[in-house]
Amino acid sequence: MSELSKLLTQIRACRICEAILEPHPVLHVGPTARLCIASQAPGLRVHETGLSFNDASGDRLRDWMGVGRDAFYDESKVALAGMAFCFPGYDAQGHDKPPPKICAATWRTRLFAARPEFETTLLVGHYAQAWHLGRARKSTMTETVQAWRDYAPRFVPLPHPSWRNTGWLKANPWFAEEVLPYLRRRVRRLLRD
């Protein structure tokens, strides 16, 4: 069994957050994918179905990337690894809680070290941007996404595709005009070669 397979078995058996949620780690990471999608934490539907981005946010992300579900879920080409692997529960306002930091602290460095480096990682939302970019991140998510040329092609920072960001998309038309054409070209190349 490869190091990656052993690690994935350990992650899928992880119960660190058992006291605050029902653990059900969801991630899709194979040894050959050249593209990774790093997001935040699974929503309830993803947690229940065991399939990342199996929701309206996923539909919008696939549209941004210019791919259908078959390509998106082809684990030989695309890896999906959020900043936490289990649904973190709801806060008092009924919104998903942030990804528990213990998850990335326990697993993330080991997971990325257990396989070849991804050629491009999509950083979906500010939690993934903070972890992967560190001090290279700008002071806001908008500024970080706007500076995408500084990070590409290794990283492409994106807003979260949640319906909550529909207002952000309308207020920032440069995202659809500049970032999405590059994103689609890059994804097409990584999935085709």
Give the phi and the psi of residue 46 in degrees, each rounded to 5: -65, -45
Q: Specify the DSSP element, H or E, that contains 158.
A: strand 155-158
Judged by CB under 6 A, the chain residues 76 through 105 that form the site for ligand SF4 are: 84-86, 100, 102-103
Q: How near is the Cβ of 56 to ligand SF4 at its closest, in Å? A: 22
Q: How near is the Cβ of 92 to ligand SF4 at its closest, in Å? A: 20
Q: Is the dihedral of CA 72, 78, 82, 88 positive or negative?
A: positive
For 34, which DSSP code?
A: S
CA distance 20 to 42: 15
Cβ-based nearer residue to ligand SF4, 39 or 165: 39
CA distance 72 to 109: 23
> Residue 44 interacts with ligand SF4 (CB under 6 A)?
no
Of the residues 48, 106, 114, 138, which one makes contact with ligand SF4 according to CB under 6 A: 106
Cβ-based nearer residue to ligand SF4, 42 or 157: 42
Cβ-based nearer residue to ligand SF4, 16 or 130: 16
**Token digits of residue 20:** 């605050």
Could you count the other beta carbons within 10 Å of the beta carbon of residue 45?
15
Judged by CB under 6 A, the chain residues 3 through 42 that form the site for ligand SF4 are: 11, 14-17, 23, 25
Binding site for ligand SF4 (CB under 6 A): 11, 14-17, 23, 25, 84-86, 100, 102-103, 106
